[in-house]
A and B are shown apart, each in its own frame.
Chain A
Amino acid sequence: MTIATALSATELAAVRADFPLLARTVRGGRPLVYLDSAATSQKPQVVLDAEVDFYEQRNAAVHRGAHQLAEEATEAFEDARAAVAGFVGADVGEIVWTSGATAAINLVSAAMLGSTLDAALGRGSDASRRFVLGPGDEIVVTEAEHHANLVPWQELSARTGATLRWLRVSDDGRLDLSDLDEVVNERTKVLAFAHVSNVTGAVAPVATLVAAARRVGALTVLDACQSVPHLPVDLHALDVDFAVFSGHKMLGPTGVGALYGRRELLEAMPPATTGGSMVEIVTMERTTFSPPPQRFEAGTQMVAQAVGMGVAAQWLGELGMQAVAAHEAELAAEMLKIADIPGVRVIGPSTVGVGPDGLPDRVAAVSFVVDGVHAHDVGQVLDDAGIAVRVGHHCAQPLHRRFGVAATARASASVYTTVEEIVAFREALTGVRAFFSVD
């Protein structure tokens, strides 16, 4: 591997010491081996402290009020936006706070629906016409999407008369690009895809997909939930039009996430949610809206969570995402050794390589099946050994159907995961088939 140096043992020990929850035991005193970070990550003390500090010292409504607390709360909120923007290679005005990644995708799809309705009534700006969809237009997703990046586009297609199409997934869990030029064509208006699959851990070929969308003038929407916590992500360099990610998967609080949009797109886009805090002039007849990002932040915001997410971004940035990626590439390689256990089959790429960008081509999220044992039963036996994995379809039913399985178990790591924990996981997994007397 040509990837940057991973974390040293000393650095990793210091990282783990920052996460209070990792010290607890489960199921009768067993050390916790938390391998469910793709569902939600644990939080470092600085994030917990930031939320408490906000409530103890700065709590006030933001962007209103002239008192000192309101100033300090607004500053903390906007500093957090700048921290998150810097962390993902965006300008500060290109980051919209949302309640999470799902809300962020729905914000974009709802704005497109709103533009379509506006156009039918002859209202809305000329610039907003690029978000208008109708019969004959196509929205493209992939078979690997989390439901959050599939269902909103299904609904948008159904409501506008547009057609939903998708790129398929190959047997190795990577996107099948053999029909890319046919699926992404002059009718394509939106190409939405995950940067990293939450099931297979595979990194998508972003440059190829963005180039295909650019050729036909389609907008790109990147689901970056599983990349931002694990890889260096530079949204300007990736050249996507929109991106979404959540706070709680990147060591931040729940209840907060972000939408990135290229500035001229956010400026052209109508609001999806209207109300207080996003307006300029309101009369009984009509309203003019604030410029972005406030245009998309109606109502009282989740300020403490946003502050926590900003601190999480800073914490990861100071550790260095190159080092995080290198550490997690080692973990992924350790995880993939489960394929040597009789009866265990990995769903997704079986090796960790280096992508064209010099970064790992998969992350340490490994889904698998155990022949003869249902994923729930696998998870239960691992849980008895203190090992927390996810079981089920991981909000990706079509991808599971594509591989002919109803459910998988998934082990997923984060920056605080150790090789020793992966070894413990492999050892516990080795005993599963014997427990259920499967030969």
Chain B
Amino acid sequence: MSSLEQMYQQVILDHAKHPVGRGLVDAPAGHLAGESHQINPTCGDEVTLRVAVRPDGHVDTVTWEGQGCSISQASVSVMTSLVTDASMAEVARLDALFHDLMGSRGKGLGSDDAEDALGDATAFTGVSQYPARIKCALLGWAALKDSLARSGALAAAQGSPPQTKEEA
């Protein structure tokens, strides 16, 4: 398989064509909600992502709108599938694993546990060989982290009361 085919795995092309979570939806009543707009200034890729967190501290839904290359759009889509129903601790672990994967220069994580946890997101291993494209794959993850922080769900998970809207 060429480097190009390693980058554009079928799972990535499929997610780019049929993305999961596309189309912003309001959070159900009683959920913590946060929204984030992230832009990649070098190429103009952008994503607006909305997260709803259930009272039990798990992700209820991730919805988003965006435009950009197949890597950035597929990465948001794969991430959406991956973090739905995850706890804040699980989201933090997945985020750390995915960043490690992007820093692996095409080698992957070398751990079955880690790769099982990332699931379809391991398809982005090939992207990590191309330094200019890593930021494309990370755009959605940055939006998720920011929207969770804005929702107050991270603070709630750490035991402090969620910030009110005025304070945020």
- Which A residues are closer than 8 A to B by beta carbons? 27-28, 373-377, 380-381, 384, 391-393, 397, 400, 406-407, 435-437
Q: Whole-angstrom distance from the CB of A413 to the nearest CB of chain B?
A: 22
Verify if B7 is at the interface (C-beta below 8 Å from A): yes
Given contacts A376-B133, A384-B3, A384-B4, are A393 and B43 in contact (CB under 8 A)? yes
Given contacts A380-B130, A393-B43, are A436 and B7 in contact (CB under 8 A)? no
A151 to B4, CA, bound (A): 37
A407 to B8, CA, bound (A): 20
Given contacts A27-B3, A384-B4, are A374 and B44 in contact (CB under 8 A)? no
Verify if B62 is at the interface (C-beta below 8 Å from A): no
Could you tell me if A375 and B69 are in contact, using CB atoms closer than 8 angstroms?
yes
Could you tell me if B42 and A392 are in contact, using CB atoms closer than 8 angstroms?
yes
Task: Find the residue from A397, A406, A435, A437 having the highest chain B CB count within 10 A.
Answer: A406
Given contacts A384-B4, A406-B67, A436-B8, 6 further A-B contacts (CB under 8 A): A27-B3, A376-B70, A380-B8, A392-B44, A407-B45, A437-B13
A391 to B4, CA, bound (A): 17
Verify if B158 is at the interface (C-beta below 8 Å from A): no
Q: Whole-angstrom distance from the CB of B67 to the nearest CB of chain A?
A: 6
Interface residues as binary, B42-72 with A (CB distance below 8 Å gives 1, 0 otherwise): 1111100000000000000000000111110
Q: Whole-angstrom distance from the CB of A41 to the nearest CB of chain B?
A: 20
Given contacts A384-B3, A436-B13, A437-B13, are A374 and B69 in contact (CB under 8 A)? yes
Q: Whole-angstrom distance from the CB of A405 to the nearest CB of chain B?
A: 9
Q: Whole-angstrom distance from the CB of B73 to the nearest CB of chain A?
A: 8
A381 to B70, CA, bound (A): 12
Classify the interface of chain B: helix, strand, loop or mixed: mixed
Verify if B160 is at the interface (C-beta below 8 Å from A): no
Q: Whole-angstrom distance from the CB of B3 to the nearest CB of chain A?
A: 7
Q: Whole-angstrom distance from the CB of B145 to the nearest CB of chain A?
A: 23
Residues of A within 8 A of B13 (CB): 436-437
Q: Whole-angstrom distance from the CB of A172 to the nearest CB of chain B?
A: 23
Could you tell me if A376 and B2 are in contact, using CB atoms closer than 8 angstroms?
no
Could you tell me if B68 and A374 are in contact, using CB atoms closer than 8 angstroms?
yes
Residues of A within 8 A of B3 (CB): 27-28, 384
- Which B residues are closer than 8 A to A by beta carbons? 2-4, 7-8, 13, 17, 42-46, 67-71, 130, 133, 136
Q: Whole-angstrom distance from the CB of A114 to the nearest CB of chain B?
A: 30
User: What are 6 A-B residue pairs whose CB atoms fall within 8 Å in the complex?
Assistant: A375-B69, A376-B68, A376-B69, A391-B43, A406-B67, A436-B70
Q: Looking across the interface, which residue of chain B has its beta carbon closest to that of A405?
A: B44
Given contacts A374-B68, A384-B2, A384-B3, are A435 and B8 in contact (CB under 8 A)? yes
A375 to B2, CA, bound (A): 20
A400 to B43, CA, bound (A): 12
A28 to B3, CA, bound (A): 10
Could you tell me if A400 and B69 are in contact, using CB atoms closer than 8 angstroms?
no
Q: Whole-angstrom distance from the CB of A300 to the nearest CB of chain B?
A: 31
A380 to B71, CA, bound (A): 11
A242 to B100, CA, bound (A): 50
> Looking at the complex, which one of A376, A381, A407 makes contact with B71 (CB distance below 8 Å)?
A376
Q: Looking across the interface, which residue of chain B has its beta carbon closest to that of A28?
A: B3
> Looking at the complex, which one of B42, B46, B68, B133 makes contact with A380 (CB distance below 8 Å)?
B133
Q: Whole-angstrom distance from the CB of A377 to the nearest CB of chain B?
A: 5
> Looking at the complex, which one of A28, A380, A400, A437 makes contact with B44 (CB distance below 8 Å)?
A400
Q: Whole-angstrom distance from the CB of B129 to the nearest CB of chain A?
A: 11
Residues of B within 8 A of A400 (CB): 44
Q: Looking across the interface, which residue of chain B has its beta carbon closest to that of A376?
A: B69
Residues of A within 8 A of B136 (CB): 376
> Looking at the complex, which one of A27, A392, A437 makes contact with B43 (CB distance below 8 Å)?
A392
Sorted nearest first, the 9 A-B pairs with minimum C-beta distance are A376-B69, A374-B69, A384-B4, A406-B44, A392-B43, A377-B70, A393-B44, A377-B69, A407-B44
Residues of B within 8 A of A381 (CB): 4
A84 to B66, CA, bound (A): 46
Task: Find the residue from B2, B44, B71 having the highest chain A CB count within 10 A.
Answer: B44
Q: Looking across the interface, which residue of chain A has its beta carbon closest to that of B4?
A: A384
Residues of A within 8 A of B70 (CB): 373-374, 376-377, 436
